[in-house]
Chain A
């Protein structure tokens, strides 16, 4: 593979590449296919897109989403404004709150801070993609069971973060849950129950934090 440190011979500028080869499949077939494929890839890689809208294809929840968006459109905007996948929410648009969290190849990222054009070729999972055949996932059900939600606006983001955590760490400690969810904010204040939901989904014991007493029965 080309090593940038190895000297000019192997680094081919776009212009010289296009001079020495045609860009058609036929031309590729006449040369050492592997090298040419890589170089073709390289040539296409260095293609400039935009600034006007360009066609992109996103792999979201196992389906192809074909859109036309400008390079400056974020993945979050592509989901919310250019398709109907409104599960991921725009709350801060500045990588500070986690409401836009989606999984990219299983890894949680802030979709508000990822360009849609760069999200191609990856497996993107949103909250809409967690249920199978209409059955909610373990994590989703645990959020309901433990009431790890109130207004629900932060919930998709938290569900994605906890889902990813449990895929990596099936039986997390409280500290690991905190570390995984530090990038998600909740204004309604459901944190204790989000913590319980994570434990419940992991099959770990859940402690309750409340008791109800009858006032009339007090001395």
Chain B
């Protein structure tokens, strides 16, 4: 069974991100930057109707706009569109301006149909149906265990609550898109993607091109957070335009489009009841929820991150449960997997009710969690975190903070799968001693490149500068998509394997042992003219799945304005074998800051009357800014015996929950709806219902 070397120099170090220089200098070319010869600008025409029968799309006038080289429909004939922003057609031209003019002049004949964009309305029988032959509200998926009603009757303390979370948008800074070119019948695509293989498969299948004639490159990409798999409708449109125009076509979505049609995190409306005996042991849990994943929520999906369901009672052990979850269709864009799909939503409801129960039990919230958390690692993390955070000193009974600006603290825990498998890699050792590692994986800013360089460096006895890491190309040995926090655990063992094999083969081929730098040089020289090319793949024993993590939040709430400021987040996260410490810590920062956005600012807002997305921009869909960032204190637990595990997702799961608990602790009253805006805080303080999603 392979195992990581005991002596690790680069692995686990704070070595710098190897693509830093390219990114800070502007040299890094993203798919949105590449400019193949003769490239054309492309744009997508989208539906202005939330639901309509489209009877005709006339592209004639668009084709006459000077500079326009091609104009196509998304699909032929009549069709029904089901959300504001659904793709209708696309144009390609020599300038962006020509494309803008062309889009404005396309005639679309449409018969508007009744629509619904609000979950509470859509779930009623009286609501217009998104799909004619299916009720908007799915039959609930039910999960029962034990005898929940009897168990409640025996509980000493019961807490009940209603919690809601909004639809959240991924909003990676680089929008979705591809630059596509056909070269002698072969499709070449530069894609902003988390999965070059998924894009290749998508193009091949959708355009009926042999897979052997499709190449996808994603050398640098500007964020995905789960939404960038497959070629997308915009990718297919770019490819078809390119074929028609006989020139490369670049289609990257506008920020406006990103809010409409490329995925989101489903909303949730959760009615929860939780009961415990006097000793603090959870006995009974009941949850009824619904939420929307857009037009496709009606049937409860079986997982994969696109549906409105989530695990309940999340991380806690409760012997008697009844869980009923439904999805509700609305006329809005479909959900896509979004950083820990289901989990931040699950965590928010569960951790809120846990704190409410702690109050009823007159028990410390951390103590209640430790009592009911089956994970030894997390229990340890709560203890470590509480001490590091200063929980004992900071924690006060809810609402007892004095003065108009109240402080409060809260905590929450996370669980995630991750793990990895199935990656292949190739190592080329050149006679001059330099090394190329090739792997068809992706670096979303997650640090994959760096991780590869550090592992290769330690295993080959080299410095990162001597290793050229080549990723993001379907011409390289395949790897899985970068989702589910599986990249590090998939790629690391493959790099371990290929380097171990390469070193062994070098030594056997040259007869020189390649221990240190000098010896390495000597061995490589003996290769003569040809590089040594070695393949490797993922092996068991070097990675595992399962991550935990807990976070503590300290907030200040100005009860006279409703403004919430997160002062501090302490995160204790199990890191497994941490390969690249610097990039790992950055992931934690990132997950927490995204969680703060979920807690305080982010909410996709639909308009009932018109059916449009009302905030398709960064002005009113608000992302956490630098000034909003709290002090973040990270404690990473090095657990090399577990091998490489994932971290991208677990670190964003409990943040909003911890913040919400801290706010409730500060105020003595709970805001049960995210985001916790000044409006919602003030409403809660006046005793009115605070769980209406857009008030």
Direct A–B contact present (CB less than 8 angstroms): yes
Cα(A186)–Cα(B590), bound, Å: 9
The reply to whether A185 and B625 contact each other, CB–CB distance below 8 Å, is yes
User: Complex Cα distance A89/B255, Å?
Assistant: 12
User: Is there an interface contact between A212 and B255, defined as CB atoms closer than 8 Å?
Assistant: no
- Across-interface contacts of A130 in B (CB, < 8 A): 25
B585 CB within 8 Å of chain A? yes
CB <8 Å contact, A147 and B17: yes
CA–CA, A150 to B340, complex, Å? 19
Q: A136–B444 Cα gap in the complex (Å)?
A: 23
Query: Does the CB pair B627–A212 fall under 8 Å?
Result: no
- Stretch of A12-20, A33-41, A151-159 that contacts chain B: A151-159
Taking a contact as CB atoms closer than 8 A, the residue among A144, A209, A215 that contacts B637 in the complex is A215
Minimal Cβ-Cβ distance residue in A for B41: A81
Q: Say yes or no for B247: interface residue by CB 8 A criterion.
A: no
A96, A136, A188 — which one has the most chain B CB atoms within 10 A of its CB? Answer: A188
Q: Which of A2-10, A24-32, A69-77 contacts B (4 or more CB under 8 A)?
A: A69-77
B617-A94 in contact (CB<8A): yes
A1 at the A/B interface (Cβ < 8 Å)?
no
Give 9 CB contacts A-B under 8 Å.
A73-B97, A93-B255, A126-B26, A145-B16, A182-B627, A186-B626, A189-B589, A190-B589, A211-B635
Complex CA–CA separation, A30 to B184 (angstroms): 65
**A189:B592 contact, CB within 8 angstroms:** yes
Bound: A181/B628 CA distance, A: 12
Task: Encode A69-103 as 1/0 by CB contact (under 8 A) with B.
Answer: 01011000100110011111111111011010000
On whether the beta carbons of B638 and A210 are closer than 8 Å, the reply is no
Name the CB-closest residue of A to B22: A152
> Which one of A96, A209, A210 contacts B618 once the chains associate, using CB atoms below 8 Å?
A96
Q: Say whether A147 contacts B20, CB under 8 Å.
A: yes
Task: Give the residue of A85, A87, A131, A150 whose beta carbon is less than 8 angstroms from that of B446.
Answer: A150
Whether A147 lies near B582 (C-beta < 8 A) is yes
Q: Are A136 and B25 within 8 A (Cβ)?
A: yes
Is B591 touching A127 in the complex (CB atoms < 8 A)?
no
Q: Does B594 contact A (CB under 8 A)?
A: yes
Contacts of A154 in B (CB 8 A): 173
For the complex, give the distance between the alpha carbons of A145 and B21 in Å.
Answer: 10
Flag B558-576 by CB within 8 Å of A: 1 or 0 each: 0000000000000000110
Q: Interface residue count for A (Cβ, 8 Å)?
A: 67
How far, in angstroms, from A45 to B16 measured CA to CA in the complex?
51
A126 to B618, alpha carbons, bound, how many Å? Answer: 23
Bound together, the chains give a CA A187 to CA B597 distance in angstroms of 10
Contact A81 B24 (CB under 8 A): no
B residues 31-68 near A (Cβ < 8 Å) are: 32-33, 35, 41
Q: Which residues of A contact B629 (CB under 8 A)?
A: 191-192, 195
**Residue interface bits A120-154, CB-to-B below 8 A is 1, else 0:** 00000011101100001000110111010111111
- The answer to whether B24 and A140 have CB atoms under 8 Å apart is yes
Q: Given A93-B255, A94-B255, A151-B445 in contact, is the A143-B623 Cβ separation under 8 Å? A: no
How many angstroms between the C-alpha atoms of A86 and B25 in the bound complex? Answer: 11
Q: Which 8 A-B pairs have the closest CB atoms?
A: A87-B26, A151-B445, A153-B222, A152-B23, A189-B593, A150-B445, A189-B590, A144-B20
* Residues of chain B contacted by A48 (CB below 8 angstroms): none
Chain A residues with CB below 8 A from B434, complex form: none
> How distant is the Cα of A191 from the Cα of B288 in the complex, in angstroms?
38
Q: Is A193 an interface residue (CB 8 A)?
A: yes
In contact, B16 and A190 (Cβ under 8 angstroms): no
Complex: A73 Cα to B99 Cα, angstroms: 13
In the complex, B632 has a CB within 8 A of chain A: yes
Residues on A with C-beta less than 8 A from B377 are 215
Q: How far is the CA of A184 from the CA of B225 in the complex (A)?
A: 19
**Is B636 a contact of A178 with CB atoms below 8 Å?**
no
In the complex, what residues of A have CB within 8 A of residue B95's CB? 70, 73, 81
Is the beta-carbon distance between A209 and B626 smaller than 8 angstroms? no
**B174 and A144 form a contact (CB under 8 A):** no
Q: Which residues of A contact B19 (CB under 8 A)?
A: 152
Complex contact A216–B617 (CB within 8 A): no
Q: Say whether B174 contacts A89, CB under 8 Å.
A: yes
| A144 & B626 in contact (Cβ 8 Å cutoff) | no
Question: What 0/1 readout, one digit per residue, does chain B (602-625) give for beta carbons within 8 Å of chain A?
Answer: 000000000000000111000111
Interface status of B172 (Cβ within 8 A of chain A)? yes
Closest chain A CB from B221 CB (angstroms): 7
For B627, give its contact among A87, A153, A178, A190 (CB under 8 Å): A178
A131 to B12, CA, bound (A): 31
- Is B359 part of the binding interface, using a Cβ–Cβ cutoff of 8 Å? no
Say yes or no for A214: interface residue by CB 8 A criterion: yes
- Which B-chain residue is minimally distant from A207 (CB atoms)? B631
Which one of B21, B175, B445, B618 lies within 8 Å of A94 (CB-CB)? B618
* Residue B641, interface by CB 8 Å: yes
A109 located at the interface, meaning its Cβ lies under 8 Å from any Cβ of chain B in the complex: no
A127, B222: Cβ atoms closer than 8 Å: no
Minimum CB–CB distance from B116 to chain A (whole Å) comes to 29
A209-B631, A215-B638 known; A89 vs B254 contact (CB < 8 Å): no
Task: With both chains docked as a complex, state the minimum distance between the C-beta of B681 and any C-beta of chain A, in angstroms.
Answer: 23
In the complex, the answer to whether A192 meets B632 with C-beta atoms within 8 Å is yes
A159, A191, A209: which contacts B24 (Cβ < 8 A)? A159
A192–B626 CA distance with the chains assembled, in angstroms: 8
Asked if A194 is an interface residue, CB under 8 A from chain B, the answer is yes
Chain B, residues 644-663, CB within 8 Å of chain A (1/0): the string is 00000000000000000000
B346 interface residue, CB < 8 Å from A?
Answer: no
Which of A127, A182, A210, A214 sits near B625, CB closer than 8 Å? A182
Could you tell me the distance between the alpha carbons of A209 and B627 in the complex, rounded to whole angstroms? 17
Counting CB contacts under 8 A, is B380 at the interface? Answer: yes
CA–CA, A88 and B221, complex, Å: 15
Known: A97-B173, A188-B590, A216-B641. A144 touches B632 (CB 8 A): no
Closest-CB distance, A160 to chain B (whole angstroms):
10
Cβ-closest chain A residue relative to B175: A91
Chain B residue contacts of A152, Cβ below 8 A: 19, 22-24, 28, 220, 222, 445
Residues of chain B lying within 8 A (CB to CB) of residue A99: 173
Partner of A191, one of B16, B591, B626: B626
How many angstroms between the C-alpha atoms of A131 and B445 in the bound complex? Answer: 23
* Residue among B24, B171, B444 making CB contact with A127, cutoff 8 Å: B24
- Kindly state the separation between the CA atoms of A182 and B629 in the bound complex, as whole angstroms: 11
Which residue of chain B is the closest to A161 with respect to CB atoms? B626
Pick the contact of A89 from B222, B446, B632 — CB < 8 Å? Answer: B222
Smallest CB-CB separation from B572: which chain A residue?
A: A213
CB-CB nearest in chain B for A85:
B26
Residues from 368 to 392 in B contacting A, C-beta threshold 8 Å: 377, 380, 384
Which residues of B (650-687) have their CB < 8 Å from a CB of A? Answer: none
Known contacts being A93-B254, A185-B618, is A150 close to B590, with CB within 8 Å?
yes
Task: Report whether B17 and A144 are in contact in the complex, using a CB–CB cutoff of 8 Å.
Answer: yes
CB-CB < 8 A to A145: which residues of B?
Answer: 16
Do A210 and B20 form a contact, CB below 8 Å, given A150-B446, A153-B222, A218-B380? no
Interface pair A92/B617, CB less than 8 Å apart = yes
Q: Mark A193-208, 1 if CB is under 8 A from B, else 0.
A: 1110000000000000
Asked if B432 lies at the interface with its beta carbon under 8 angstroms from chain A, I say no
